Structure 1
Amino acid sequence: MDKSRCASKKDDDDDDDVVDDINWSDDETDDTKKISFPELEKAILTVLEKFEAVFPKLNWSSPKDARWMICDNRLRCTNLADIFSLLKSSDFITHDLHEPFKFCRVNDENVSDDKEIQYVLVLKKWYALQPSKEFRCFVKNNQIIAISQRDSDNFYDYILQTSNVIADNLKTFFEKNIKGKFLSINFVVDIYRQDDVNEPEFRFVGSQHGVKPNSFTQYSMPKDIADITRERDIDKLIDVIAMAKRFFENASHVVQYAAYRPTYSQALIEKIMNYLSLKYKGDYDIAIDIGCGSGQSTKLLSPYFQQVYGYDVSKNQIKQANEKNTNSNVKYRSENIISHDNNSLCLVTVAQAAHWFNLQQFYSEAHRTLKLMGVLAVYGYGFVELHGPQNKRLNEIVTNFYRKVRPFFPDDRIHIDNKYSSIILPYVERERDESVKINCTWDIQRLLGYICTWSGYQNYVKLHPNNDIINDLRSELFSTLNTTNESEKIELSFDTFILMGRKTSNDLY
């Protein structure tokens, strides 16, 4: 398996050992014997090439208990590492491999528990299935004796209303396609019931729970005030920068965020400015930074523009930014509207925040305010990479910690893990750049402080206040570096990714 995708399991209590998108150095000599299954890998790659994405499954179970190992939290596998990560991390798969018949009663005395099992890896073409349409059928003597919905954790009203029709459909399908085709006459089979494409789809609000609140009522903003403030509808006023999901409102968290987060290099801003100057020949008068936080990225624009504005909905973040502001041409505002005229801005930037936005409305407002040949730049940084003599073990420790708290991040975190690969700027002229790194020399205390700013860790601590995992992490770092001093220096870096798009006409897209 590719070394850049896997880490060896060092400790018995490690929960997670598969790491995505971390490029470890090969400075150390690794004498570990590498196990390879070229024929299996070739067969899997052939299937992946045919289907592009697949579901994996062994004889009995799929590794659905480990789906969190895949960045989008589904069983959608697009490469070898995805498949092996799921199989290796799943308790269901471990059960199938080591004790598949535990708790099973064998009636046939000729059947032995220790009979050799021929294991099969099944790769089915990936489809985005709807859980409400999956049903489990229990068969005895080649007759369906019971049916249950597969997703037993949710209520689906349509099943209640059409249960007889669904049961008839499943029995008809079974009689036509499944009955008599298995060696056994007693088994369990899962059936996915597709929609009848010949019937029109009719959607409506089926209960009070489906009613969407009126925006004017919900946000308690009088319509005349909204109209005076902006000649646009209330939803764009409120939702254009949909950052209510941000986790940086807490004052102490804001201080940590400002103190411990990495700082973008001037080289990254130069990339953006070079792209802007290729075709923009006007005055460099105004630039804005949306989702500016405490201003780490906003202040880097100061040397290039007459006026720079940083916007964030968090009042605590803006307070922190203003307290540390030393640039007379930089102003910070706690607003969730872009209060600038049409065609008035040279540059709109977003650093590590675009994944929180309602992108369509944000794109519309950015396009409205940009001048012709102005630029929209969206950028961020990836996962931390540690360097030095013990880099392999250090990276393993930090990424294992990340795996533990990953389920506690908001769903939008996937965009950072994917380096914004699924975010497409709304311009024909656009460019992606990943050439700039953020290189840092931090001590252990700074590294731990940075990790404590992760929203996933913050949420984990709220739910597990008695589980001191940050001290466990500190102990592992100390042990690996053979120190008890938090001032011990560590070399590390972050990959960056920049998306740049140019407004070449007044028409969006």
Structure 2
Amino acid sequence: MATHLFEGKEHASVYQRYRFSLPEKLQEVISSYLENKKVSSFQLAVDVGCGSGQSTPWLAKRFEKVVGTDISEAQIEEAKQAAHPPNVSYLVCPAENLPFNDNSVDFILSFAAVHWFDIPRFMKEVERVLKPSGCVVLSTNCLDMQLHYKDCTEKLTEIFEEFRKAIFKYANDRVCRVEDDYKMVFDALPFQDKQRITDIFGTVPFTVAGVLGYFQSFSMYQTLLKAEPEAAKSLLQNTKERILEVMGVSSLETPVEIRLRNVAVLGCKTS
């Protein structure tokens, strides 16, 4: 069964405001993969587990029609309300039961989502709906992120790690599928033509306020917030104060960067 952790309206709103699209280096990897596989049809792409639509519009330049799907009505409502190209639409549905005909989809993307799915059932759907020679990319951010500002990277990253450890006891067991760099996902993909890349590095620009918002979008923080609201708010406040102190600034609009590593599982249906 898929895991339901991002379905509240408030969580969806935070997710839409602070989650980011595919990092540039990952975009390059995907584009290069499609070129190398000589994909001949660019009619339909599906972004499975699209959340509030951060990455879905990126596909609109490459495909005639793009559909973002998610199990959360609140997330899809946020995606629909956000600006998006006219060839992009959104549907509420589980990843394990996609509303597309057999052999009808040219490309499937799933970013920061597959680890929440019922993976065996989802893989059957991938195999069913992809056209022959259709491609799939399943990717995520890894947990070893760095928070960068001038010469404060080491201290800021320590603060981030302490925050993550404080909320990690509220993490769902399926987070382990990220910790293994998607090896389980790679092994489950039922195609002979597949590869796994574990060293796609990039940076995402934020402000201090944006970083704090990003922290609040974590499922484990939201679980803590429901279980112990005062403890969650205190942890976030303390983290904010420590970040500002280390940076030597007072403005939450001060620019910072998150440096991250992505992994990607890429596959092509050859028959």
TM-score by length of 2: 0.91
1:415 and 1:298 map into 2 onto residues whose CA distance is: 23
Pair 1:276-2:34 in alignment: yes
Structure 2 residue corresponding to 1:452, chosen from 213, 216, 231: 216
Shift, 1:283, TM fit: 2.1
Deviations 1:187-212 (A, max 9, x none): xxxxxxxxxxxxxxxxxxxxxxxxxx
- 2:168 is matched with which residue: 400, 406, 416? 406
SS, match of residue 348 in structure 1: strand
**Are 1:340 and 2:100 matched, yes or no?**
yes
Q: Which residue of structure 2 lines up, in the alignment, with residue 309 of structure 1?
A: 67
Gaps of 5+ in 1: 1-241
In structure 2, relative to structure 1, the CA distance for the partners of 1:400 and 1:303 (3 Å cut) is same
Q: What are the equivalent positions in structure 2 for 1:347-426 lying under 5 Å apart?
A: 347-383=107-143, 384-387=145-148, 388-424=150-186, 425-426=189-190
**Once the two structures are aligned, what percentage of the paired residues are identical?**
27
Letter in 2 for 1:334: V
Contact 1:285 1:306 in 2 (8 A): yes
Measure, in 1, the Cα distance between the counterparts of 2:241 and 2:24: 35
**Match for 2:218: what amino acid?**
W
Do structure 1's residue 489 and structure 2's residue 255 form an aligned pair? yes
> Partner of 1:264 in structure 2?
22
| CA drift at 1:427 | 1.4
* Structure with more strand by fraction: 2
**Distance in 2 between the 1:270 and 1:324 partners?**
25
Q: Is the 8 A contact 1:269 1:301 kept in 2?
A: no
What is the CA-CA distance between 1:249 and the residue it aligns to? 0.9
- Distance in 1, matches of 2:257 and 2:125, equals 40
In structure 2, stretches of 5+ residues that fail to align are: none
Q: Note closer, same or farther for the CA distance 1:391–1:266 as it changes in structure 2 (3 Å cut).
A: closer
Provide Cα deviations, 1:163-182, integer angstroms capped at 9, x if missing partner.
xxxxxxxxxxxxxxxxxxxx
Cα displacement (A) at 1:443 = 1.6
Q: Which residue of 2 aligns with 1:327?
A: 85
SS of match in other structure, 2:230: coil
Matched position secondary structure for 1:374: strand
User: Size of the alignment, in residue pairs?
Assistant: 263
Q: How far apart are the structure 1 equivalents of 2:45 and 2:194? A: 19
Counterparts in 2 of 1:361 and 1:396: CA distance versus 1, 3 Å? same
Letter in 2 for 1:395: T
TM-score by length of structure 1 reads 0.50
Cα contact 2:207–2:254 (8 A) shared by 1 = yes
User: Residues 62-461 of structure 1 correspond to what in structure 2 (within 5 A)?
Assistant: 242-243=1-2, 245-336=3-94, 337-383=97-143, 384-387=145-148, 388-424=150-186, 425-461=189-225
Q: Is the 8 A contact 2:59 2:66 kept in 1?
A: yes
Give a deviation string over 1:64-103, Cα, whole Å, max 9, x none.
xxxxxxxxxxxxxxxxxxxxxxxxxxxxxxxxxxxxxxxx
Cα distance in 1 for partners of 2:39, 2:160 equals: 46
- From the superposition, tell whether residues 275 and 440 of structure 1 become closer, same or farther in structure 2 (CA, over 3 Å): closer
Measure how far apart 1:280 and its partner are.
4.2
Larger Rg: 1
Deviations 1:14-60 (A, max 9, x none): xxxxxxxxxxxxxxxxxxxxxxxxxxxxxxxxxxxxxxxxxxxxxxx
For 1:350 and 1:445, locate their aligned partners in 2 and report how far apart those are by CA, in whole Å. 27
Secondary structure at the aligned position of 1:288 is classed as strand
Alignment CA distance shift 1:254-1:466 (3 Å): same
Query: Which residue in 1 is equivalent to 2:269?
Result: 503
| Structure 1 or 2: more helix by fraction | 2
Corresponding residue number in structure 2 for 1:470: 236
